Amino acid sequence: MSKNTELSTVEKKALLITEFVDEVAILKINRPEKLNALNTEMIEALKVELKRLEDNEKVKGIILTGVEKSFIVGADISEMKNLSTESSIKFISNLHELINTIRNLNKPVIAAVNGYCFGAGLELAISCDLTICSKEASFGMQEVKIGIPSVIEAALFPFIIGLNKTRELLLTGDVIDSKTAIEIGLVNHVVEHSELMEKTMEYTLKITVNPSYSVMLQKQLINRWLDNAGLNQSIQNGVDYFGRAFSHPDTNKIMGDALK
């Protein structure tokens, strides 16, 4: 396999690293000092880079992963702690736009979960076409612990792990390990940490070997099934409830305390 690294406009900021292995792009989130938390700058950078990769005719598939010990630890609390009802709706809508871009991308996107995968990071991972994780990965939806509900693509959880497990995961905010994640169907495969990228590439190639147009049509049809089940309305309801959480006087304080 041939491998090269290409720097794009957003990558000059060191937020993202894109490598190409033959016809597969490996997109690495590179904000280790914040455990790859998603702030507005990172969200915008990802949207730009994903669009660039979608427009690149040489790219047949995309692997999304994080650097060092984290995939994505969630949305950046440092930014969220200062939000109001109005700005929180703008922030969460922008985050949904990013994740929705991944779900609707014409090319397959595979998540290689290398470590911490919490909150918005987990919503992003389950919105990818496959989720492969390291044995060292851990997962959780901890929003309820910092005064907000889990929203937007959290609406996918009942389809993936069932209603009872969704309730348990979202209402407790518990963190689970990779063994539990595969047992409840949260991820597709668990592999040795040292083999994560190799195995993820293998699964990606199982998809990209198929005709690109048929893969695109299948993705579109799966999304249509979810739309028919009311996913989009559930996400919009989540945006509204997210804003309501920031109208409570304790929310910003709880988030500030969580950073101490």
Active-site residue list: 123, 143
Pair type for strands 116-118 and 138-140: parallel
